[in-house]
Amino acid sequence: PPRPPPAAAEPPEPEPGGRYEAVVPHWFWCKVTDTRERWVPFSAQDSERLEEAHGAGQEQGDVVVPTSGGRYDVHLRTRQRVAVYWEEEVSEVRRCTWFYKGDKDNKYIPYSESFSEELEEAYMIAVTLGEWKKKLESPNREVIILHNPKLMVHYHPVASSDDWVSTPTEQGRPRTVKRGVENIAVEIPNGEPLQIDHLVFVVHGIGPACDIRFRSIVQCVNDFRNVSLSMLQAHFKKAQEQQQVGRVEFLPVNWHSSLHSTGVDVDLERITLPSINRLRHFINDTILDVFFYNSSTYCQTIVDTVASEMNRLHRLFLQRNPQFKGGVSIAGHSLGSLILFDLLTNQKADPEEDEHCAQGSRTASSPGDTEEVKEILKKLELSEYCDVFEKEKMDRQALFLCTEKNLKEMGIPLGPRMKILHYISSKTEMKVTAELWLHPQSPGNTSTEIVSSTNLNIPLSQVSANYPQLNYKPTIFFAFGSPIGMFLTVRGVKRIDPNYSLPTCKGFFNIYHPFDPVAYRIEPMIVPDLEFEPMLLPHHKGRKRMHLELKEGLTRMSVDLKNNLLGSLRVAWQSFTRSPVPALEAGSTEAEAEAEAGTEKQTDTKPEEPPAAKEESPLINVGRLNGGNRIDYVLQEKPIESFNEYLFALQGHLCYWESEDTVLLVLKEIYQTQGITLDQPLPGSQ
The enclosing domain of 235 has a CATH number of: 3.40.50
**C-beta separation of 268 from 217 below 8 A:** no
For residue 467, what is the DSSP state? P
pLDDT at 589: 43
| Identity of residue 423 | Y
Q: Look at residue 621 and tell me if it is in a domain.
A: no
Q: Look at residue 184 and tell me if it is in a domain.
A: no
416 and 490 in a common domain: no
Q: Look at residue 366 and tell me if it is in a domain.
A: no
| Identity of residue 48 | E
Query: Is there a catalytic annotation at residue 334?
Result: yes
385 and 331 in a common domain: no
CATH number, domain of 411, equals 1.10.150.50
> How far, in Å, CA of 457 to CA of 454, rounded?
9
150 and 236 in a common domain: no
201 and 133 in a common domain: no
409 and 267 in a common domain: no
477 and 336 in a common domain: yes
284 and 140 in a common domain: no
Q: Where are the beta strands (DSSP E) in 84-172?
A: 91-96, 98-101, 108-110, 134-137, 143-148, 151-156
Q: Look at residue 586 and tell me if it is in a domain.
A: no
210 and 117 in a common domain: no
Q: Look at residue 45 and tell me if it is in a domain.
A: yes
pLDDT at 206: 86
**C-beta separation of 445 from 346 below 8 A:** yes
pLDDT at 106: 76
Catalytic residue among 334, 447, 482, 659: 334
CA-atom Rg of the chain in angstroms: 35
- Final residue in a domain of this structure, among 386, 409, 431: 431
What's the pTM? 0.71
Residues in the chain with pLDDT values less than 50: 1-17, 161-165, 355-370, 429-461, 545-552, 580-618
151 and 212 in a common domain: no
Q: Look at residue 240 and tell me if it is in a domain.
A: yes
pLDDT at 410: 86
250 and 102 in a common domain: no
Q: Look at residue 32 and tell me if it is in a domain.
A: yes
pLDDT at 141: 72
Q: Residues near 552 by Cβ (< 8 Å), separated by ≥ 6?
A: 544, 610
491 and 524 in a common domain: yes
Torsions phi, psi of 173, nearest 5? Answer: -80, 125
Q: Look at residue 631 and tell me if it is in a domain.
A: yes
Q: Residues near 518 by Cβ (< 8 Å), separated by ≥ 6?
A: 205, 334, 481, 482, 483, 653
Pairing type for strands 507-512 and 476-480 reads parallel
598: Cα separation from own chain's centroid: 49
- Final residue in a domain of this structure, among 148, 179, 210: 179
Look at the chain and report how many structural domains it folds into: 3
547: Cα separation from own chain's centroid: 27
Domain range for residue 127?
A: 26-159+170-179
Nearest to 255 by CA among 210, 203, 300, 315: 203
> How far, in Å, CA of 219 to CA of 221, rounded?
6
382 and 342 in a common domain: no
